[in-house]
Homo-oligomer: A and B are copies of this chain.
Amino acid sequence: MMKLSAKVRYGLLALLELADHYQQSSFLQVDEIVAAQNIPYRYLMQLLISLRRSGIVRSHRGIKGGYCLTKAPENITLLEIVTCLEGIPQPEKSGQASVESVDNLLIEDIWSQANQSVMQLFASYSLKSLSDKRKESRKSNQMYYI
């Protein structure tokens, strides 16, 4: 129903790494992200380029280059991220070229509502809240190994 694409999963995981690194005011290299998460190198590149184009991260080339967030993690919503990577959820055009019959409008209306509710949910998550959640989970996960 809601398909979770590798694109979003990878992009989000990368951004979580960048969020953790946000305080250090230095750039995190793609290699380091790849090491932390298990993401195909060249594929991640493309995602980072998209994220840079839409202003979520910025980059620096050269020997101490890499990527970092442009804003604080609490000011980046999951909605921005998904929208950037997946593109705008456009009405999908009913196949047979713009025959906007009553029936098609009816169906698109419902799908639009579904989109709205998902987008609302995504807007309620910031990168920081996700990062915090992750830290929590890690902590309580550690306890099993003591």
Contact = CB atoms under 8 A, between A and B. Distances in A.
Interface of A: 1-4, 6, 9, 12-13, 16, 37-38, 78, 82, 86, 89, 92, 94-96, 102-108, 110-111, 113-115, 117-119, 121-122, 125, 130, 133-134, 137-138, 141
Contacts of A106: 130, 133-134, 137
Contacts of A82: 1
Contacts of A141: 102
Is chain A's interface secondary structure helix, strand, loop, or mixed overall?
helix
B110 A125 contact: yes
A90 to B, nearest CB: 10
Contact of A107 (B12, B102, B111, B121): B12
As for how many copies of this chain the complex holds, the number is 2
B2 A137 contact: no
A112 B101 CA distance: 33
A118 B62 CA distance: 45
Contacts of A113: 121
